[in-house]
Amino acid sequence: MEIRRRIATAVAVIGLVATTAFGGAAAASAQTFPDKAPPGYAGPFPTCKGAFLEQIDIPQTTGYVRVWYSSEGSGTFCAMTFDNLDGKHHIEVVLQHAGWTTQWYDSDDDYETYAGGIYVSDANTLCAKVYGEVTVNGVPHPSGWNTICKPPVA
């Protein structure tokens, strides 16, 4: 009996580790508090500052992720995910500095219109990775991870 319990415990721990390691953005579904942002990250805020860079459509939905860049300070990327649907839906956005392992996200609830904007700074010479997701009728639709780089200096 003791061996079975130890095996069950080991399987549960392995499952938890695998879910955390391979869950990707889904692991970042806890409530978002701006004061808990890791160093270099900020948000969520109702808007993004800077120049619009790119729109990434979310397959099989009317949703999309938008990314902005500002060269102010040390440079910042900002991202928001929009659903373009009536009513509330689970919407999330995840942003990661290309040179860091930490991420910041906004996915704490169902939203009417958008998730974000979330910022990552220290980006003057770097890129950022962004992920968005919209859940429609209980089915999650991910954008996949996209790398966005700041525009070239003219």
Domain boundaries, the chain: 25-149
DSSP state of 27: G
| pLDDT for res 16 | 30
CATH of domain 25-149: 2.60.40
Please tell me the pTM assigned to this model.
Answer: 0.73
Measured distance CA(65)–CA(46) in Å, rounded: 14
| pLDDT for res 43 | 79
| pLDDT for res 21 | 31
Distances (CA, A) of 55 to 2, 14, 65, 69, 104: 55, 37, 6, 12, 19
| pLDDT for res 135 | 92
The pLDDT tens digits for 105-119 are: 767 677 888 888 888
Select from 25, 125, 31 the least CA-distant residue to 71: 125
Residues (pLDDT < 50) of the chain are 1-31
Task: Provide the 3-class DSSP secondary structure of residue 79.
Answer: strand
